[in-house]
Structure formats: structure tokens, C-alpha cells
């Protein structure tokens, strides 16, 4: 494919299908491209792409928020060809509802661009889902999945549990304080 003014070109990738390869040095922290496409709801994304019917997960979806997903197969750009790696040289950042890809480190010409997709786990993944979301990056750091590391999922679960427990304790303290303030007082007549 031809270069579109971005610091990379699209060509066959040893990782998966097509990939984005640097055409010039890219400096650490450089904004490389915005991930664009049609903005849809999660329900619409689920209706468009049935993971159960796929042998291998293959979509160009990027979750922006709890309400919005970008589908780069429609109105998308070459950002959709940046593959996953467990040892990435890029990262995605969401800024005011827009998704940008930045260089994590200096990138040499010819090097394939990649970021960690880190799909959020639900904790009840089946063996079939583990196979569907397997990683092909081949790096030494490869965890075997494009889903987030299990440790990240477990840490998020612990943090959510701590947050819920803190909120429960705060409600209990407020209830105890409110209850102690109203005890023994009779309404004025």
C-alpha cells in the first residue's frame, strides 16, 4: 500500500495479515496517528461481529468508553493495521473521546509498529475464547493472549473489591453517625 503522509506504510506482516512499518525514525512520545472509524454502541458492535462464529478473533474495533466503540472497518484509516504485541513499541491513549497511537520508545525505519491490545478479561473466559484471542507476536515477553495479563485482571478485581468495601464502610459510618445524632431526640411539638 502507499504511504498516506504518516510515518509508516502498510505491508504484509509476519505477526498477522498486514502491519504498519516505520518509514522513518519515530521518536519516543511522538503521536503517530489517530485511530478513526464509525462510532457505534457496544450493542451494535456485538451485533456486527459474532465472536462465537469466529475461529480466530478478527475485528477492527476499539473501545473508547462504556458507551462508544470505534469500528475501523467503516470510515477507518491505516491505524487499524497496527498489530498487537506483548512487548509493544507504541501505546494507545484516549483523549476526549478520541484515540491516538503514540511511540513508547524510539522506533527505527522498517520496524513494525505494535501496541498491546490488552482486551479486558471478564474472568470467565473459556478455552475456545483463549484460542480465539491467542497472541502471535512471538516476542520473549509474549503472554500467549491479546487479552490483558491475568495479573492485571486480578489486580483490577482486587481494586474494585477494595473500592466497594471502602464505599460500604463509608455508608455504614454515615448510617451510624446519622443514627447516633437522632437517638434520644423527640420531634418538637
> Cα–Cα distance between 47 and 40 in angstroms, integer?
11
- For the stretch 104-140, pLDDT in tens is 999 999 999 999 988 888 888 888 888 888 898 989 9
Choice between 149 and 45, residue whose per-residue pLDDT is larger: 45
Phi, psi at residue 81, to the nearest 5°?
A: -90, 0
Q: What pTM value is reported for the model?
A: 0.75
Cα torsion angle, 132, 138, 142, 143, sign: positive
With beta carbons less than 8 A apart as the criterion, state whether 19 and 13 touch.
yes
54's CB contacts (< 8 A; 6+ apart) are 132
Amino acid at each position: 500500500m502507499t504511504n498516506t503522509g504518516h510515518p509508516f506504510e502498510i505491508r504484509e506482516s509476519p505477526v498477522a495479515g498486514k502491519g504498519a512499518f516505520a518509514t522513518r525514525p519515530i521518536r519516543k512520545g511522538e503521536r503517530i496517528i489517530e485511530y478513526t472509524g464509525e462510532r457505534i454502541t457496544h450493542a451494535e458492535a456485538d451485533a456486527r461481529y459474532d465472536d462465537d462464529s469466529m475461529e480466530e478473533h478478527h475485528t477492527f474495533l476499539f473501545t473508547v468508553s462504556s458507551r462508544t466503540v470505534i469500528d475501523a472497518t467503516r470510515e477507518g484509516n491505516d491505524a487499524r493495521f497496527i498489530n498487537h504485541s506483548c512487548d509493544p513499541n507504541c501505546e494507545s491513549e484516549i483523549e476526549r473521546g478520541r484515540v491516538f497511537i503514540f511511540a513508547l520508545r524510539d522506533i527505527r525505519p522498517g520496524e513494525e509498529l505494535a501496541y498491546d491490545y490488552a482486551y479486558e478479561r471478564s474472568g470467565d473466559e473459556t478455552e475456545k475464547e483463549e484460542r480465539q484471542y491467542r497472541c502471535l507476536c512471538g516476542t520473549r515477553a509474549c503472554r500467549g493472549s491479546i487479552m490483558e495479563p491475568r495479573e492485571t485482571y486480578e489486580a483490577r478485581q482486587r481494586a474494585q473489591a477494595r473500592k466497594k468495601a471502602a464505599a460500604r464502610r463509608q455508608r455504614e459510618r454515615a448510617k451510624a453517625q446519622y443514627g447516633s445524632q437522632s437517638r434520644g431526640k423527640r420531634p418538637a411539638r
